[in-house]
Amino acid sequence: MSIPLEQFVRQLQDSGILPGDTLKEFIPPRAAPKDAEELARELVRSKKLTKFQAEEVFKGKARSLVLGNYVLMEKIGAGGMGLVYKAEHRRMHRIVALKLLPSDKMKDPTTVARFEREVTAAAKITHPNIVAALDADCADGVHFLVMEFIDGSDLSRFVKKHGPLSVENAVNSILQAARGLAAAHANGIVHRDIKPANLLLDKKGTVRILDLGLARLTSNDLELPPAELTSTGAIMGTIDYMAPEQAVDVRSADARADLYSLGCSLHYL
């Protein structure tokens, strides 16, 4: 939808998307765009805005692109727990991934509890084969988890695009994931949703586990009591990769269930 140039400029200025005096280089008297579309194209061409950001401004959602110290750049994923965006820290200019729990999800106590559990679980682990959690916060009613941004593709999409991995690469990928799982299990965390879509392959060939939204914190962890948010008979996880005992009762799933899922993932690769 087209909007007046003045309105487009005002939204950019009020939102704080662009740092400092960046916008002054693209508007009168230094430049003379004929309309908002031309200004947007020039900002995108100059890599001052992303295409996603420009589209959101045209929708009147410029302010929603800023969450605390972070500016959303583009959407990179979606799931039952919310959306994942590529974002930039406004002061440090560090690129990160933000997982958002939108304000409308805050009405569901179970969803909020699961998100908080993911934040807790992610904060407990530092390992080269697990996507690192950097921060967690709430801004304008939106809770979000800040994670390292990995330039790559999950193994599900990779196989769909390029075909099955070689035996050597498949075994290497699963071995890396197994190392990450070992670290999680050592910290009292059972993932409960291991699958190719939750195994991220970066440009250097490193595999990292992501998405701890269904993780279970085991009761032998004295610092953090288990967050049992399911009832007997409830199914959590992905059926194609789920261990039989997890399908019967998700609360009974332990480290062995993750290993079962990892074996199913190897079959897929």
Full residue range of the structural domain in which residue 262 is found: 152-268
pLDDT bracket for residue 115 (50, 70, 90): confident
Residues 92 and 112 grouped into a single domain = yes
d(CA 155, CA 151): 13
DSSP β-bridge partners for residue 230: none
How far the first Cα of the chain sits from its last, in Å, is 43
- The answer on 239 and 187 residing in a single domain is yes
Q: Are residues 157 and 131 in the same domain?
A: no
- CATH number, domain of 201, equals 1.10.510.10
Evaluate whether 69 touches 36 at the Cβ level (below 8 Å).
no
Residue type present at position 232: T
Instruction: Note the pTM of the prediction, 2 decimals.
Output: 0.82
Query: Domain check: are 243 and 166 in the same one?
Result: yes
The whole-angstrom separation of Cα 64 and Cα 60 is: 9
> Quick one: average pLDDT of 219-226?
42
Residue 247 burial (10 A CB sphere; 0-12, 13-18, 19+): middle
Are 188 and 122 contained in the same domain? Answer: no
- Give the domain-ending residue among 13, 45, 64: 64
Same domain, 193 and 241: yes
End of a domain among 148, 163, 181?
148
Does the annotation flag 195 for ligand binding? no
Q: What is the pLDDT of residue 123?
A: 79
- The radius of gyration of the chain from alpha carbons, rounded to an integer in Å, stands at 21
Catalytic residue check, 35: no
Mean pLDDT of the chain: 85
Question: Which residue is catalytic, options 21, 140, 193, 254?
Answer: 193
Which of 64, 88, 110 is the last residue in one of the domains? 64
| Pairwise CA distance, residues 145 & 128, whole Å | 19
For position 113, which CATH number holds? 3.30.200.20
**Can you tell me the mean pLDDT for 153-166?**
95
53-112 pLDDT, tens per residue? 999 999 999 999 999 999 999 999 876 567 899 999 988 999 999 988 877 777 777 777
Domain count, the chain: 3
Same domain assignment for residues 165 and 255:
yes
